[in-house]
């Protein structure tokens, strides 16, 4: 065999191997033959029109999660915009679910993408991995996901979960999420090391994060009022005392 032929054979083998990282061959769905149903392993079915629809309508793909109003708005903005966001959301407002949902949608419907999720410390990594697994089970239960060293491989894409306290090595990400990372200087340093020309970032934390003006982003806030009926909030304020209750309820 000539060297060119050997290289071609090796290239074909590698290409075939990558295409079957999971049993859902999304590239097959996205072929030009629009509307032709494709069967893949374990009986999962999807056609090109469905793939295109879910890619453009992430909320429909995530319908089983019963997202709340503020989560739906955030998913739409993240998945349909190339702008950055910084989100000050209160406790139990669904930050973990929202980040995992957006990461999963990006990995599936934007093949060959890299999503990086930063958590505050190493012991948070396993917790977030469990959150991601739960969403995978709900949304694509037939898929065989490859997980290795805090990395999930889906549709030739990668979702990497890192501790922001660890040594940062750039992954050339398409999207970066920060989950409850509150040190602004560390966040900025991480962005400097990780970002490439088309990278977007999205920060979700309980408190307000104020970045330097060289990191432009859209800011959003979710308070208790956004998901607690006012009557319940008034009772809670009486129970815990006004001094400990958010001024946002006034």
Q: Which CATH number covers residue 215?
A: 3.40.50.300
Q: What is the pLDDT of residue 51?
A: 79
Going by C-alpha positions, the residue among 30, 67, 13, 205 that lies closest to residue 124 is: 205
pLDDT of residue 20 exceeding 90: no
- Asked if residue 244 is part of any domain, the answer here is yes
In degrees rounded to 5, what are phi and psi of residue 121?
A: -150, 165
Average pLDDT over residues 118-141: 92
pLDDT of residue 16 exceeding 80: no
More confident residue, 120 or 234: 120
Q: What is the pLDDT of residues 217-229, one digit of tens each?
A: 999 888 766 656 6
- Asked if residue 180 is part of any domain, the answer here is yes
Q: What is the pLDDT of residue 244?
A: 53
pLDDT of residue 166 exceeding 60: yes
Average pLDDT over residues 226-250: 61
Q: What is the pLDDT of residue 19?
A: 39
- Asked if residue 49 is part of any domain, the answer here is no
Q: How far apart are CA 58 and CA 237, in angstroms?
A: 37
- Asked if residue 78 is part of any domain, the answer here is yes
Domains: count for the chain: 1
pLDDT class for 99, splitting at 50, 70, 90?
very high
pLDDT class for 91, splitting at 50, 70, 90?
confident
Q: How far apart are CA 215 and CA 66, in angstroms?
A: 32
Reduced DSSP (H G I as helix, E B as strand, rest coil) percent helix, strand, coil of the chain, to 5: 45, 20, 35
- Asked if residue 5 is part of any domain, the answer here is no
Question: What's the chain's length in residues?
Answer: 250
More confident residue, 243 or 57: 57
pLDDT of residue 30 exceeding 50: no
Mean pLDDT of all residues belonging to the chain:
79
pLDDT class for 26, splitting at 50, 70, 90?
very low
Average pLDDT over residues 183-193: 95
Query: Residue 150's domain spans which residues?
Result: 65-249
Going by C-alpha positions, the residue among 183, 182, 186 that lies closest to residue 88 is: 182
- Asked if residue 25 is part of any domain, the answer here is no
More confident residue, 134 or 1: 134
- Asked if residue 34 is part of any domain, the answer here is no
Q: What is the pLDDT of residue 129?
A: 94
Q: What is the pLDDT of residue 149?
A: 83
**Quick check: 24 and 155 in contact, CB under 8 A?**
yes
- Asked if residue 172 is part of any domain, the answer here is yes
């Amino acid at each position: 065999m000539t060297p060119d032929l050997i290289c071609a054979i090796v290239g074909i083998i590698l290409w075939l191997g990558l295409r079957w990282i999971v049993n859902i061959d999304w590239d097959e769905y996205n072929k030009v033959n629009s509307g032709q149903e494709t069967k893949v392993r374990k009986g999962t079915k999807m056609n090109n029109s469905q793939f295109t629809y879910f890619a453009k309508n992430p909320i429909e793909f995530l319908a089983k999660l019963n997202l709340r109003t503020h989560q739906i708005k955030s998913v739409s903005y993240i998945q349909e915009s190339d702008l950055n966001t910084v989100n000050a959301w209160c406790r139990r407002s669904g930050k973990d679910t929202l980040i995992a949902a957006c990461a999963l949608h990006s990995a599936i419907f934007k093949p060959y993408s890299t999503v990086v999720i930063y958590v505050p410390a190493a012991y948070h990594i396993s917790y977030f991995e469990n959150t991601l697994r739960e969403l995978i089970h709900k949304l694509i239960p037939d898929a065989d996901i490859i997980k290795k060293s805090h990395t999930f491989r889906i549709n030739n894409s990668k979702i990497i979960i890192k501790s922001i306290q660890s040594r940062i090595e750039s992954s050339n990400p398409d999207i970066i999420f920060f989950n409850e990372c509150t040190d602004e200087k560390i966040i900025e340093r991480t962005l400097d090391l990780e970002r490439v020309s088309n990278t977007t970032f999205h920060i979700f934390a309980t408190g307000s994060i104020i970045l330097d003006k060289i990191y432009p982003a859209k800011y959003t806030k979710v308070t208790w009022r956004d998901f607690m009926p006012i009557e319940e909030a008034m009772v809670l304020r009486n129970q815990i005392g006004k001094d400990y209750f958010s001024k946002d309820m006034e």
